[in-house]
Structure formats: C-alpha cells, structure tokens
A and B are shown apart, each in its own frame.
Chain A
Amino acid sequence: MAAYLLRRLIQAALILLGVTFITFVLLYILPADPARQIAGRSATVETVENIRQQLGLDQPLYIQYGRYLEGLLHLDLGRSYLQKTEVATLIAARLPATLLLMVGAIVCELAIGLSMGLFAAMRRGGRIDQSLMVVSFVAVSAPQFVVGILLLYVFAVYLGWFPIGGYGTFSHLVLPSITLGILGAGWYSRMMRSSMIDVLRQDYIRTARAKGLGPTTVMAVHAMPNAILPIVAMIGIDIGYFMSGIVVVESVFGWPGIGQLAWQAIQRVDIPIIMGVTLVSACAIVIGNLVADLIAPLIDPRIKLR
C-alpha cells in the first residue's frame, strides 16, 4: 500500500511537470505580447521593452522555464503581471468557491445520474426507461452555457426560486451545480443503467433471491455495490471535465472562482495566472483519480493496489 502510494505520487509529480512544460511552451509561442498588454496601447517602444526586460520575457525559453520551476520548488507561483499580487494568494482566495461548486456538481450528477440509471434498469424496456434515456440524451448533448442560461431564465428570472447570480448562500449554489453536473448526470445514468442491467443478470443476484431476500435488499446490498464500481473510476476523470466547464459556468453565474480568474487572465495574457490555474487544475485531476483508485478496493475486495 505504501509502495503503491509512493509510486503514484512519483507518477503525479512527473505528470505535473509535463503539464507545466507544455503550458509554458504553448504560452511562449503564443503571438500575443504580455509586455504590450501591461504597457497599454499608447506606450512607447522603449517602455514596452523595459517591461519585457523587467519581467525577464526577453530571455530564451529554457531560462524562463528554469526560473519558473525554481519558483515552484519554493512553492512560488509568481506574481500576476497586471494585478501585482502573488498568484498563490489570488488562487487561494478563489479556490474554495470553485471546490464548493465542484462538490455541488458531483453530488448533483451522482444523485440525478445514479437514480435515473437505477430506475431505468429496473423498468428496462418500459416507458419510464425510454423517457429517462431521452432525458439523459438531452443532458449529454446540451451545451453548458445553454443549460445555464435556460435554468437562470426559468428558475431565477421567471419563477424567482433562486438568485440570478452571485455567491454566498446555499440557494446560490443550486443552479450552477446543476449546470455543471448535468452533463455528468447524463453519462452516469447511461452507465448506471447498463451496469445495473448487467449485474442483475449475474448468478449471485439469483442466489440472493433464492435466499428469500426481498427486492429492496437485493438491489441495495447485492446489486448496487457491484453496479457502482465502473462509475467510481469515472468520477476521477470527471474532475477534468469540470475544470473546462467551470470557466463557462462561473462566467454565466458570476461565481467568484478560479474559472473566472482564468478567463480574465487569458484575455489579458497574464501568463503567471494562466500557469497557476492550469497547475492547480492538473493537481485536482491527479488527486481526483488517485482518490477514485483508492476508493475502488474499499467497494471491491478483489481489487488489490500494488
């Protein structure tokens, strides 16, 4: 177990190193000029050149990247070009909001997706099954900004049940979470349905029924843990999808998370922030996958970590 964790952590460090390298190179070859952005439109060529030298942007790629890595070793993510603040401070201020949104989205997709899949599997081939699968198809194919705006219009503007945007209370969390989680819910309902149908065909389900167990026990104790296994592995991968969705959802709902921060930074070519947010996202994905892999053996004793 310790050996397994150590190996996974080494792997994670290598993945993160790769992520920083690729992002750094992409930003380097980008035609946009951060020095020009900082100096403003009216600045002279000398001013721009000055800023460039100050930031070290005139140095070759390997020196710039080397400096960045050196900073990382001291847990220094650099300073924002425009906001003149530590990137770490900026991200730390906004990370809780994003994590809250992600937890909300995971709860949504699991609650909606698993129950839909379960009901569809139990009523396989019937009307409930068919309509649920149509719903899941819509959920999978609807773009997030459309879902977000639609939910805002119906539940915030028209019905007035939830606030239009902002951050602070539970009711602020509901619509953004659903918007972010609905895609996953669509996928999960389909996975859960096919997984459940497969499990219900297994011999051990027949054994459970032969003991005289009722349908609720058979489903909850014997079928669910087996059916949920493939989905646990998916949750880790999901965090990656969330990271891309967060930029859209946070903009639509005015949610003060790192998605908004990233969006602003991209518009202004604020390289340290882009690097920082990318690194944090990559960390989240790596941790999410690791946690999913650690949970799997708790559900299925056949899975051995080595």
Chain B
Amino acid sequence: MTEKSQPADDPVLSVRDLTTEVATPEGRRVVVDRLSFDLAAGETLCIAGESGSGKSMTALSIMRLLPEPMARIASGSIHLAGRDLAALSGREMRRVRGADIAMIFQEPMTSLNPVLSIGHQLTEAIRVHRPMPRGEARALAVKALSAVRIGQPERRLQQYPHELSGGMRQRVMIAMAIAGRPRVLIADEPTTALDVTVQAQILELIRTLQKDFGTAVILITHDMGVVAEMADRVIVMNGGAMVEAGPARQIFHAPAEDYTRMLLAAVPRLGASQTVSDLAPPPASSVPDDTVVKVSDLTVRFDIVGGILRRPVQRVHAVEGISFDVRRGETVALVGESGCGKSTTGKALLNLVPWDGAIVIDGAATAGLGRSAMKPIRRSIQMIFQDPYASLDPRMTVGELVAEPLTIHGLASGSELTDRVAWLFNRVGLSPDQMQRHPHEFSGGQRQRVCIARALSLSPKIIVADESVSALDVSVQARVLALLQELQDELGLSYLFISHDMAVVEQVSHRVAVMYLGQIVEMGSRAQVFGDPRHAYTRRLLEAVLVPDPDRRHGAFPIADSEVPSPIHPVGQAPARLAMTDIGNGHFVAG
C-alpha cells in the first residue's frame, strides 16, 4: 500500500470542469455542471445534496459507469495518478475500475448477483486485476471478509447473497471494493437502505479501513447526519452544480450559502423538539370513548409450509402479542428496525393481513370481518404508504385517484365530487388545476401530498402513515410533516406513525412504542422514551442516531459480527412474551 500513497499536498483525484449530460426527449440536460474538486490521500470528501442534485451522476462519471449512450461526459477532466480517466478507452478504463478506484452502491440487496456465490463474486474481483490461482484468490477473499469483520469467512464464501442480511451484504460489497486496494473508494449512499444500528457499524467500518489502508473516500449522501459523522471536507450540490465547498465544521457551523442553511435547517434533529416544543399537546381529556384505536394482544404469524402435505413447519412471528391505543388527536409512533413487525401492525389495523387478538377502531371491533363488513370501518382508518411512486396508479389522473375512495363508498358524485376533490387538493397544498394530470408529472413530495389527499377524502379518524416521509428529501420531508401536523391541529386527526427514523419520530409523536422482534419493548410519552430510555434496545437505537454536527461525532461504534435474531420459529414454539412493567405515568418497559 505504501508505494501507492502520495504526499498529502498532491491530490489523488483531481476533477476539473466535469460536465455530464443526459439525453432526454426534450433534448440534452446537464446533470453535472462544471464541477471541480480535489481529493487528497486519506481524506474523506462528502458530496451532499438532495435527489436530482447530480451527486450520484458525479460518482458514475468518475467511474465511467454512466448509462451510455443516454448519459455521457460532455467535457472536463478526471485526473487520477496522472491519467485523465475521461479520456481513457473502454479497455484502459476497465483496468482502472476495481483496481485504482472502487465503488460501493446504495442497494446492498440488489448489488450482488443472486445466482453467484459470495466466494465467486469476491475472488472474481481479485483475479480480474491480479491473475492468480483460484486457491490464492480464495485466501485473499477470506482475508477481505475478515477485514470487514465478517465471522466464519470460509463458510460465508459458500453462501449466496440471499442468505445474508442487508448489513452483511454491504460488508461483502465493501470487502469486494477494498480487495483491490484502491486509492479511491466511492461510496454512493452506502447506508441509506440500512437500519440505524447497521448504518453506524458500516460507517465505522469504512472509517477503520480508510485508516488502515490510507484510502481516499468520496462519500455521497443525502443524510447530513452521515456527512457530519464522516466528512473531512464537504461539497454541497444542487441542480448539478456545486453550491458550496469547505471543511466539514465550516459547512455546518458557518454555511455561506442560503441553500446549505435551508438544507441544514430541514434536518430533523434528535433532542431539538424537547427544547422547542412546537408540538401541541393532545387534547387532555381522558374520557374512555376518546380512544380511536385500541389494539389488544395483536398477533400476526405467517406459516412457512413444507413436507409432502405442505403443512406449516415453521412460523414467522411477525407481531407477537402487542397492545396499545391511540386517542383522538394523538400521534402514536411505532418505531423499530426492519423486520420488527411495525408495518405488519399497520396492515393488521386495516385487515390487510390475517391476525389474532382484538382491534377496536372507532368503537367497532374488526376481528374476523370480511371485505364488505370492513368497508364502513375503512372510512375511519386510512393509510399512507412509503413509496409515493408505487402507490399511485400511473394510468389514472391524480384527480381520479383522490376521488376514487369517495366513489367507492358512494359519498359523492358529479359536481359535488369535483368540489370535494378540489377542496382536498387545496387542503394539501396542491392546485386544483393539476387534477387532470398524471402521477408521473409530479415530484415525490407532491405525490405524497396526493396520497395524503386520497387518505383524507373519507374524513378518517386515524391515518396509518407507514414510513410516509422516509423516501423524501429532507426539505420536502419537513414540509410534508408540517402538513400532517396542520391537518391534525385542524381536523383532530390521529396518526399511527410508523418509522425507523428516531429524529422524525421525536419531532412528530405524542407517544412512542419501540418494537423489536414483533414485540413492544418500551412505550411511553415522547419525553419518557427519548429523555429517559430504559430498555437496552431503545438506548442502542438512540445511540446509533447520527447528529448533524461534526463536533458531536460518534467515533467508535462496536461492529457486531452477529446477525439480528430471526422471528422464525418451528411450529409450536412461540417466542417468550415480554412482560411490560409500568414504571410510572404510562411509561412501560419490557422486563
């Protein structure tokens, strides 16, 4: 490695006036606009920006992995160790990729080839640049897996990607990237698809490997928490161009540009809402019929069949006996990591999955109700999903989409329907003129507004918001959250807010339930759970949250080798139910 390292003042990578264009039906569009920067050896440069800022296109341009011929580098140079990558032939560039400059991608679930073993994919990455016998490459692959703290590396080599969790797969990706000892590692949103505790581990890993190997890292992210945690220097991008560049402290503490200030202001911060309480308290009355949703002992299990007779042999214990209630005008958050059962709980509330236990929605028990019996109850409870792109039928106009629930329930027709839809559009901050347009003509945030309008159309008592702002840029996310808040204040709506994001949860919820492996481990008011977390898992979740402030870095975070325990058990072996203890004022902790 030492022969590759360079004097600190001499940049490893030097990008000058990089301009990348994409061909669209309307003509060429510049997606990276005359971008220039230097990357010093051993440095971490974060490129931050919202979707469409050109940050990923910059990475793909440097790697020369643009989706040609639709996208191409129009002008500029990318100098790596004295060579201009932009001018290399395809064959020459292949020798650079993976050897001098490597990349890890956002989606660990789809970035590994599903039909090839981990061993094949790792040794291939090694042997393509350094021809050597298979056995030798395997030994190096084992070393690479150990370097990314994967236990039992020999066994892992035999496994296929689907047998590993997201965090493990991302470690394999990192192992693959560093196996060639590159001078530059480009990480494009490497932790965005991962749970917070896993995110902290992956970032720690990148940091350690960087120290050990002296690799220069370009980290591309939309998450200002990640930027603060990792960056030596920061480039803020917007609309393809650089807005501002500078050392991390300067960007966070003394941003020069309005855009940077706006971006930082929109980031939800843990602890911010405890001092500035912009959250109106829920109506104080505790009249019994104030309860909008009451869930008792909710259990959802999915069978895994096997054997000759295809009888259930195993069960996924997705939700295991949870109880909570939501009162009028109240936001209750279900928070937890992927696979903890929070989304399944939301679906059970709408009878979208089979469940056991008792659910009472606005006074009506929904256990065992069929489609027609459930229909009137669905007027009281509506859902907003995570992906505003996938949850709107692309062939319908947004006006039709918002009107559909009203038509299905026979609540309005003709001009009355049009008026009602127009009112809803106004209410969620869209113009009724846009009713005739189709979903693809809207941005992500606008689409989520359409989804909110659709959910509101039936004047429900409660809306289940399943990761409803997770896919949105922070600035858009802040505005959508504000809209949800307004609607609650105005209409007395209740929300069941399902999220993995602790900072957002703290910002919006009155009460919080932390879920782990299908059970609630801690439940209480926002102040109780965030201010006085009692359960070890709650603490772990809170510790893993990154703070958008380079002076409050985590530093070392323990890298666990273990996978999350599985909620799958053989039939007849239910996991132990946790007993909840009230430690005062409705603060429940699993014992």
Contact = CB atoms under 8 A, between A and B. Distances in A.
Contacts of B305: 306
A211 B98 contact: yes
Interface string B299-323: 0000001111010000000000000
Contacts of A229: 115
Contacts of A299: 115
B113 A222 contact: yes
Nearest to A226: B115
A252 B362 CA distance: 74
Given A7-B308, A206-B105, A207-B105, A212 B129 contact: yes
B102 A306 contact: no
A225 B115 contact: yes
A241 B505 CA distance: 58
Q: Which interface residue of B91, B102, B111 has the most chain A CB atoms within 10 A?
A: B111
A204 B96 contact: no
A211 B160 contact: no
Contacts of B91: 214
Contacts of B180: 212
Interface of chain B: mostly helix, strand, loop or mixed:
loop
A6 interface: yes
A123 interface: no
B105 A226 contact: no
Contact of B128 (A7, A212, A226, A306): A212
B116 A306 contact: no
A206 B65 contact: yes
Nearest to A209: B65
A140 interface: no
Contacts of A6: 308
A210 B107 CA distance: 14
Interface string B185-200: 0000000000000000
B308 A204 contact: no
A208 interface: yes
Contacts of A41: none
A203 B125 contact: no
A209 B99 CA distance: 12
A202 B105 CA distance: 12
Interface in A170-228: 202-204, 206-214, 217, 221-222, 225-226
B563 to A, nearest CB: 18
B308 A210 contact: no
B425 to A, nearest CB: 35
A31 interface: no
A302 interface: yes
Contacts of A210: 63, 65, 97-98, 102-103, 105
Contacts of B173: 207
Interface of chain A: mostly helix, strand, loop or mixed:
helix
A203 B124 CA distance: 17
B112 A207 contact: yes
Interface string A4-19: 0011000000000000
Given A3-B307, A212-B129, A203 B65 contact: no
Q: Which interface residue of B65, B124, B129, B310 has the most chain A CB atoms within 10 A?
A: B124
A212 B115 contact: no
A203 B110 contact: yes
Contacts of B95: 212
Q: Which interface residue of A204, A207, A229 has the most chain B CB atoms within 10 A?
A: A207
A212 B160 contact: no
Interface in B55-113: 63, 65, 91, 94-99, 102-103, 105, 107, 110-113
A301 interface: yes
Given A3-B307, A207-B173, A301-B160, A213 B94 contact: yes
A84 to B, nearest CB: 44
Contact of B114 (A7, A204, A208): A204
A41 to B, nearest CB: 55
B115 A208 contact: no
Contacts of B128: 211-213, 217
Contacts of A76: none
Contacts of B103: 210
A300 interface: yes
Q: Which interface residue of B91, B94, B173, B180 has the most chain A CB atoms within 10 A?
A: B94
Nearest to B60: A206
A207 B542 CA distance: 33
Interface of B: 63, 65, 91, 94-99, 102-103, 105, 107, 110-117, 124-125, 128-129, 160, 162, 173, 176, 180, 305-308, 310
6 contacts: A6-B308, A204-B113, A210-B103, A212-B180, A299-B115, A301-B115
Interface of A: 3, 6-7, 202-204, 206-214, 217, 221-222, 225-226, 229, 299-302, 306
| Nearest 6 Cβ contacts at the A-B interface | A212-B98, A212-B97, A203-B110, A204-B113, A211-B98, A301-B160
Given A210-B102, A221-B116, A222-B113, 20 more contacts: A7-B308, A203-B105, A203-B110, A203-B111, A204-B111, A204-B112, A207-B105, A207-B176, A211-B102, A211-B124, A211-B176, A212-B95, A212-B96, A226-B114, A229-B115, A299-B115, A300-B114, A301-B114, A301-B117, A306-B310
